[in-house]
Amino acid sequence: MNVHDKYKPLTFWEKTYLPGVTASLWLTSKHFFRNMTSHTLRLVGIKLRWPGSVTFQYPEVFRPIFPRLRTKHRLTKREDGSPRCVACMLCETVCPAACIYIIAEEKLAEPQIEKMPKSFDIDLGLCIFCGYCVEACPEDAIRMDTGIVEISNTSRIDMLLNMETMLNLEPNPERYVKFDKEGNVVI
Ligand code: SF4
Ligand code: SF4
């Protein structure tokens, strides 16, 4: 449609909304009967050319996500279990939502590494999941590969993600789509 046509005054017929309602009912019904036919025939062993749309029974069945999706943050650990984070504050500085709060302390056990976080909180209620914190980190200490997308809560304070929680989170490959050798998605 030409963009100027969009702003033409409506005709009397269009003002009744009947053409719009009829067209949308037709479209909905078409998809409903098409999918119903496809799935019903599939049940008795007949496969049509069109597969019929698929609904994931979430939350029982999780729809696989692509690895590029940024999900809940986690903090990576060193071999001794301490955080890789050196409290350089780069992530806190670069965060456009200003939702990272780090308090640093001296790392006395290891003189080569001056600092470590005493506390490291992220307010997921403010986070826009841009991934800048991951990009900015010089230590690969923060990642967004947990596959966790369920972050809703009933209070703002519960949206705070603390250091202990983030250190205990692990990547979850089960939640991600799998690829074959040619790079195609494996269903
Ligand atoms: S993903 Fe973006 S908004 Fe969220 S904590 Fe990281 S830098 Fe801040
Ligand atoms: S997570 Fe990375 S960027 Fe953020 S303070 Fe720690 S070391 Fe620095």
Name residue 26's amino acid. W
CA atoms of 81 and 75, how far apart (whole Å): 11
Contacts of 85 (CB under 8 A, 6+ apart): 75, 102, 116, 117, 120, 137, 139, 141, 142
Give the count of beta carbons closer than 10 Å to the beta carbon of residue 81.
Answer: 7
CB-CB contact of 56 with 63 (8 Å):
yes
* pTM (predicted TM-score): 0.76
Q: Give per-residue pLDDT as tens, 104-119.
A: 999 887 778 899 999 9
CA–centroid distance, residue 2 to ligand 1 (Å)? 40
CA–centroid distance, residue 92 to ligand 2 (Å)? 8
* Residues with a CB atom less than 6 Å from ligand 1: 95-97, 99-100, 122, 127-133
Q: Give per-residue pLDDT as tens, 18-44.
A: 999 999 999 999 999 999 999 899 889
CA atoms of 168 and 74, how far apart (whole Å): 8
Query: What is the residue with the minimal CA distance to atom 8 of ligand 1?
Result: 95
Query: What is the residue with the minimal CA distance to atom 2 of ligand 2?
Result: 137
Phi/psi at 83 (5° precision): -65, 140
Instruction: Give yes or no for residue 1 having a pLDDT over 60.
Output: no
CB-CB contact of 186 with 180 (8 Å):
yes
- Integer-rounded Cα radius of gyration of the chain: 25
CA–centroid distance, residue 113 to ligand 1 (Å)? 25
